[in-house]
């Protein structure tokens, strides 16, 4: 029995079928309760079958946000379903990351969808706000760029999300905070809008409300992330932040952290990890204002100094209760605040800092500071739990922190202190020179209370290994001195004065460069830690670069070159590969900037490198150094403390940049000709003396010496010649005086003759001049007479030409007048003809208008009659139209479309008429053929019956009756045919009368059709215009449109008699064929 019942039971419905059914119900339901029930059903499947639910009902669910926005219960269910689609069950067979992308695309492809979600934030209900923010977060995660654009474009979109930060409910507020963090990392415009929605004040209010940095939870961390997004590389927001006092609020948070740490209760250990994360985030926000090279960085640095943020950061940096990472981050932040700002760098050097120490460790006095800085220590009034503060100069404290040996966990703090010191003198030549001089004075005095950088570097390796096993002490000292000397000729010159040994006591004097180089060579021999050796080698490379004096200083001790070459060769055993590569680099620098006047001439040095080291070895060591991960990947490797051993920090960033920039140059240095010496040009000015210039000057001096000797010999010969010429000159002068007297006498006689000759010539010139004047007057008179005669002839010719031209002009004027009269007459006739044609056209138009008016009057009469006959129908139509008022806009569009279709039909009406005439002629021809065939068949049938009777066969009466009926029908058919034939004969006989009348009838029918079509089109256009202009009176317009449509619909064309005949003929033919 059970089997029978099971067999009769309906098939079990699958989940996919159920989801499809619910989706169909959701899309077709009209009642809110039905839609809500369908959504509840879909929600139960959303976790396990997200793809099926999304494919079937996603658009309807999104549409429900707009349609059912007033019903909070339904909207809540819709949002829950959408959230489940974004977060499906991990065990679901349909779970996939593509579903989130699909959902996000569906939301972001239409602006209305995002706007609908944002509109729901106006609701004060908890779950609606929470779910909307969570959905927006999921959409932003999948499609961040589109989501940012959609929210930015939505009306009040950013304002609504930012406004949720004021919600007192923590869950909603935190979701809004997380969403803003996700929206603001890249879009500068969105950052500005969020900032000007009072986001900064709201964020600080949230931080304070959550307990500040010390007691705050992850909410404070999210707030700081939002601040970082809004301020990162956004100058406008940074300026706005300064204007509203945001930097003062940062100082307040920092002060509160230090005060709470110094309080009697302190901070619980379980709170410190989150406190440190919050403090780390705030320090990161501060560093965003201090980007190197940014336009607003100097202003931001000044603001942080004036508000006291720097002092609070220093308190954190030197507070032992904070973690190593926080202290290192604080020191880096201090360096960023003063870097590149000369005014702040100078004031920073005089700044005191409070250092917390145990009371028993305090001394009451302190004299001269290391590196020459005065230490002003005094007991602080702050005392609690056995600890006191003492003030110390900031530079003194940083040097002590960086150079003193300390446990490995404090390495990050030491490295950060070194970074702060580099920022202190970066770009300021005066501070560099001052620090170096103070260090030299402290080294010479030998009474340092903390390690001195010069003393640390000059300490022999053997003594250093006995006293201290910290390689980073020498590494940091070398890095600091390297930054003091980098690209600064003044400090390099000062450093060259440092020496070791007393010459008066008979000790050998060794320069600083030679001592450091000797320590490197000794360290390689004793296999010292690479880090200390690398620090010294970096210092030497930077110092000797483009410095001939420093290179000559190193070459003054020839054993150093041999030691460096030996260090290059040691790496074949796998030991110290970095030291070997850097020694090769240093040898390349020494050779590049050596000269033939160096202690080891350039040519000798080149032979040593090629023969003692070898080109292949040199190139190999440099190449391996460049390919070493600590050099190649320096930018991506963390420069922090390691785990369980010494950190993997070998190089300084500035040196890595220097090495990579000059690697190719020094790789080829060994191939350069020793005769070619490098000239150094800095800022367009050549440094030192060019070797080529010196050689050229020596050659010029030798040439000038030889020229001088030749000139002296020539001068002696010229002197002797001059004396001889003077003697000859005296003799010549005496003979010249005698000759001069004789010439004077001759000159006087010539002068007298000349005066007489001049008188004779003047008289002759006066006579010739009077004759020329007389001849000229005669010639002028003759020319004047000829000119007057010529002028009279030309005047007569001109008058003759004028009279001839005047006669021709009159003739042309007469011809032009005649032609103008002819043209005027022709124009008048044309105008008369045109007026006559226009008058005839107006008369025809008037006649057509009268005909149209008569037609309109007839149609109006018919319309009135139809109105009276169909009042009840119109009333029903009126009621129906009243119910459809909301759809009038759609009908308006359809009416316009119908008007366009009507115009199209009117254009094709002529073509249809011609086709109808052609079809009628074809049908008439077929009908005639059929009648002939039927007549033949009937005659054959009658002959067959007669033959049967003759043969004695009986023919039934039914067949006779059928025959009679057929004959009757045939008679009727024949009568109709006769009528048609008569009509045809009439048409044939009277083509001019009957045929024309038939054609006129057809034309009238066609015109009637066209008139009806025009009336219908005009009614459609009237209907469209009335619907546009008077929507309130739509019912009356619809009644008129309906009346006109009813008036047009009953009018059917009367079928022509010819066509009726054809139809009857076809029917009879069918009956006969059936028989």
User: What pLDDT, on a 0 to 100 scale, did the predictor assign at position 859?
Assistant: 77
The 3-state secondary structure of 704-741, one letter per residue: HHHHHHHHHHHHHHHHHHHHHHHHHHHHHHHHHHHHHH
Question: CA-CA distance, 158 to 150, in Å (whole number)?
Answer: 10
Of 595-604, 775-784, 982-991, minimum mean pLDDT range = 982-991
pTM of the model: 0.64
Q: Is the pLDDT of residue 475 over 80?
A: yes
Task: Provide φ and ψ at 687, rounded to 5°.
Answer: -90, 140
For residues 450 and 438, is the Cβ–Cβ distance under 8 A?
Answer: no
How high does pLDDT run on average in the chain? 81
469/790 Cα distance (integer angstroms) = 130
pLDDT for 1006 equals 59
Check whether 621 has a pLDDT greater than 70: yes
Ranked by mean pLDDT, which of 272-286, 674-688, 749-763, 946-960 comes out on top?
Answer: 272-286
Q: Is the pLDDT confidence value at 730 over 70? A: yes
Kindly report, residue by residue over 696-714, the tens digit of the pLDDT: 777 788 888 888 888 888 8
Residues 323-327, mean pLDDT to the nearest whole number? 95
d(CA 22, CA 417): 68
Please compute the mean of the pLDDT values over residues 348-359 and round it to a whole number: 78
> Given a cut of 90, is residue 171 above it in pLDDT?
yes
Angle between helix axes 235-243 and 246-262 (nearest 10 degrees) is 70
Per the model's pLDDT, the better-predicted residue between 616 and 369 turns out to be 616
Q: Quote the pLDDT of residue 1003.
A: 59
Q: Give the domain ranges of the chain.
A: 486-687, 702-740, 855-918+1005-1064
Confidence of residue 990 (pLDDT cuts 50, 70, 90): very low
654: CB partners within 8 A, 6+ apart? 482, 483, 486
Structure tokens belonging to residue 101: 């992308």
Domain 486-687 in this protein, CATH class: mainly alpha
Place of tokens 């702040």: 344
Tell whether the model's pLDDT for residue 975 goes beyond 70.
no
DSSP for 508-521? PPEEHHHHHHHHHH
In this prediction, residue 1004 carries a pLDDT of: 63
pLDDT category of residue 644 using cuts at 50, 70 and 90: low
Q: For residue 263, give the 3-state DSSP assignment.
A: coil
437 band by pLDDT with thresholds 50, 70 and 90: very high
Best mean pLDDT range from 117-126, 878-887, 898-907:
117-126
Contact 591, 602 (CB under 8 A): yes
pLDDT at 686: 57
The percentage of the chain sitting over the pLDDT mark of 70, rounded to a whole number, equals 78
Task: Specify whether the CB–CB gap between 1037 and 1025 falls below 8 A.
Answer: no
The answer on pLDDT for 1055 being more than 50 is: no
For 510-547, write each residue's pLDDT tens digit. 999 999 999 999 988 887 888 999 999 999 999 999 99
- Band the pLDDT of 722: cuts 50, 70, 90: confident
pLDDT in tens, 563-576: 999 999 875 455 68
Lowest mean pLDDT among 924-938, 1030-1044, 1050-1064: 1050-1064
Q: DSSP letter at 143?
A: S
Helices then strands, each counted (H, E), the chain: 45, 7
CA angle 889, 893, 899 (to 5 degrees): 140
> What tens digit of pLDDT does each residue of 248-271 get?
999 999 999 999 988 877 788 999
CB atoms within 10 A of CB 561: 25
What pLDDT score was predicted for residue 870?
60
Q: Cα–Cα distance between 433 and 495 in angstroms, integer? A: 10
Task: Specify the pLDDT at position 610.
Answer: 93
Q: ∠543-549-551 over CA atoms, to 5°?
A: 60
β-pairing, 387-393 vs 379-384, is: antiparallel
384 phi and psi angles, rounded to 5 deg:
-165, 135
pLDDT for 688 equals 53
* pLDDT tens-digit map of 183-216: 999 999 999 999 999 999 999 999 999 999 999 9
Q: Is the pLDDT score of 871 beyond 80?
A: no
């Amino acid at each position: 029995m059970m089997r029978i019942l099971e067999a009769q039971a309906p098939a079990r419905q699958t989940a996919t079928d159920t989801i499809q059914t619910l989706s169909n119900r959701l899309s077709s339901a009209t009642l809110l309760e039905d839609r809500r029930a369908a959504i509840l059903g879909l929600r139960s499947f959303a976790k396990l079958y997200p793809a099926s639910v999304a494919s079937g009902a996603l658009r309807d669910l999104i549409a429900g946000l707009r349609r059912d926005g007033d019903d909070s219960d339904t909207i809540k269910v819709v949002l829950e379903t959408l959230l489940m689609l974004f977060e499906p069950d991990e065990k679901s067979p349909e779970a996939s990351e593509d579903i989130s992308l699909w959902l996000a695309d569906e939301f972001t492809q239409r602006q209305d969808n995002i706007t609908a979600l944002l509109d729901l934030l106006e609701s004060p209900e908890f779950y609606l706000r929470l779910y909307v923010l969570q959905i927006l977060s999921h959409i932003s995660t999948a499609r961040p760029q589109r989501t940012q654009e959609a929210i930015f474009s939505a009306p009040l979109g950013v304002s609504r999300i930012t406004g949720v930060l004021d919600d007192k409910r923590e869950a909603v507020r935190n979701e809004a905070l997380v969403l803003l963090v996700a929206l603001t990392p890249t879009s500068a415009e969105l950052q500005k809008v969020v900032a000007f929605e009072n986001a900064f004040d709201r964020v600080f209010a949230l931080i304070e409300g959550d307990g500040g940095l010390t007691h705050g939870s992850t909410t404070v961390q999210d707030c700081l992330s939002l601040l970082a997004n809004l301020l990162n590389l956004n100058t406008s927001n940074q300026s706005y932040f300064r204007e509203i006092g945001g930097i003062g609020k940062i100082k307040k948070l920092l002060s509160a952290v230090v005060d709470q740490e110094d309080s009697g209760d302190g901070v619980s250990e379980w709170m410190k990890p989150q406190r440190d994360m919050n403090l780390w985030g705030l320090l990161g926000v501060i560093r965003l204002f201090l980007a190197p090279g940014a336009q607003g960085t100097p202003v931001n640095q000044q603001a942080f100094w004036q508000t006291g943020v720097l002092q609070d950061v220093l308190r954190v940096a030197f507070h032992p209760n904070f973690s190593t990472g926080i202290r290192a981050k604080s020191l880096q932040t201090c360096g960023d605040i003063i870097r590149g700002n000369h005014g702040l760098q100078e004031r920073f050097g005089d700044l005191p800092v409070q250092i917390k120490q145990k009371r028993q460790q305090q001394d009451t006095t302190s004299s001269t500071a290391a590196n020459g800085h005065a230490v002003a220590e005094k007991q602080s009034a702050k005392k609690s739990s056995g600890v006191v503060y003492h003030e110390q100069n900031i530079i003194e404290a940083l040097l002590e922190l960086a150079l003193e040996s300390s446990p490995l966990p404090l390495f990050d703090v030491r490295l950060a202190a070194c970074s702060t010191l580099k920022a202190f003198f970066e770009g300021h030549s005066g501070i560099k020179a001052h620090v170096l001089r103070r260090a030299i004075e402290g080294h010479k005095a030998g009474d340092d209370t903390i390690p001195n950088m010069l003393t640390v570097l000059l300490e022999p390796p053997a003594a250093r290994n006995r006293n201290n096993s910290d390689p980073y002490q020498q590494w940091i000292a070398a890095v600091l001195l390297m930054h003091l000397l980098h690209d600064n000729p003044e400090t390099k010159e000062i450093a060259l004065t440092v020496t070791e040994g007393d010459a008066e006591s008979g000790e050998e004097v060794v320069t600083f460069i030679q001592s450091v180089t000797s320590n490197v060579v000794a360290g390689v021999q004793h296999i010292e830690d690479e880090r200390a050796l690398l620090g010294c080698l970096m210092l030497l490379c930077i110092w000797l670069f483009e410095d001939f004096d420093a290179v000559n200083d190193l070459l003054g001790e020839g054993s150093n070159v041999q030691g460096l070459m030996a260090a290059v060769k040691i790496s074949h055993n796998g030991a110290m590969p970095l030291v070997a590569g850097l020694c090769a680099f240093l040898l390349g620098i020494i050779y590049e900037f050596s000269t033939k006047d160096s202690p080891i001439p350039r040519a000798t040095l080149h032979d040593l490198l090629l023969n003692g080291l070898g080109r292949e070895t040199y190139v190999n060591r440099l190449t391996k150094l460049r390919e070493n991960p600590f050099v190649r990947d320096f930018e991506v490797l963390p420069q922090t403390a390691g785990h369980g051993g010494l950190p993997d920090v070998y190089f300084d960033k500035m040196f890595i940049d220097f090495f990579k920039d000059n690697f190719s140059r020094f790789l080829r240095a060994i191939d350069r000709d020793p005769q070619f010496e490098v000239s150094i040009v800095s800022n367009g000015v050549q440094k030192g003396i060019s070797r080529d210039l010196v050689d050229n000057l020596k050659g010029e001096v030798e040439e000038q010496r030889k020229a001088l000797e030749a000139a002296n010999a020539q001068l002696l010969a010229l002197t002797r010649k001059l004396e001889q010429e003077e003697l000859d000159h005296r003799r010549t002068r005496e003979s010249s005086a005698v000759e001069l007297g004789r010439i004077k006498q001759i000159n006087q006689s010539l002068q007298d003759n000349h005066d007489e000759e001049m008188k004779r010539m003047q008289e002759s010139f006066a006579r010739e001049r009077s004759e020329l004047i007389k001849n000229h007057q005669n010639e002028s008179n003759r020319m004047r007479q000829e000119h007057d005669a010529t002028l009279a002839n030309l005047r007569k010719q001109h008058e003759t030409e004028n009279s001839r031209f005047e006669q021709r002009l009159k003739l042309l004027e007469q011809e032009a007048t005649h032609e103008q009269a002819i043209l005027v007459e022709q124009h008048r006739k044309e105008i008369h003809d045109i007026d006559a044609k226009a008058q005839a056209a107006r008369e025809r138009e008037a006649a057509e208008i009268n005909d149209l008016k008569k037609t309109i009057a007839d149609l109006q009469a018919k319309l009135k009659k139809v109105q009276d006959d169909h009042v009840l129908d119109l009333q029903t139509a009126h009621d129906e139209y009243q119910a459809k008022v909301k759809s009038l806009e759609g009908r308006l569009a359809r009416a316009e479309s119908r008007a366009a279709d009507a115009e199209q039909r009117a254009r094709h009406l002529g073509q249809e008429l011609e086709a109808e005439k052609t079809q009628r002629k074809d049908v008439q021809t077929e009908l005639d053929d059929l009648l002939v065939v039927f007549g033949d068949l009937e005659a054959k049938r009658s002959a067959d019956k007669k033959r049967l009777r003759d043969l004695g066969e009986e023919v039934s009466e039914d067949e006779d009756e059928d025959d009679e009926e057929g004959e009757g029908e045939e008679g009727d058919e024949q009568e109709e045919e006769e009528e048609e034939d008569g009509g045809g004969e009439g048409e044939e006989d009277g083509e001019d009368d009957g045929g024309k009348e038939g054609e006129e009838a057809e034309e009238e029918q066609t015109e009637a059709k066209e008139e009806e079509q025009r009336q219908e089109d005009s009614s459609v256009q009237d209907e469209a215009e009335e619907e546009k202009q008077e929507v309130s009176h739509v019912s009356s317009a619809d009644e008129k449109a309906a009346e006109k449509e009813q008036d047009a619909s009953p009018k059917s064309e009367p079928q022509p008699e010819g066509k009726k005949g054809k139809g009857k003929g076809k029917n009879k033919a069918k009956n006969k064929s059936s028989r």
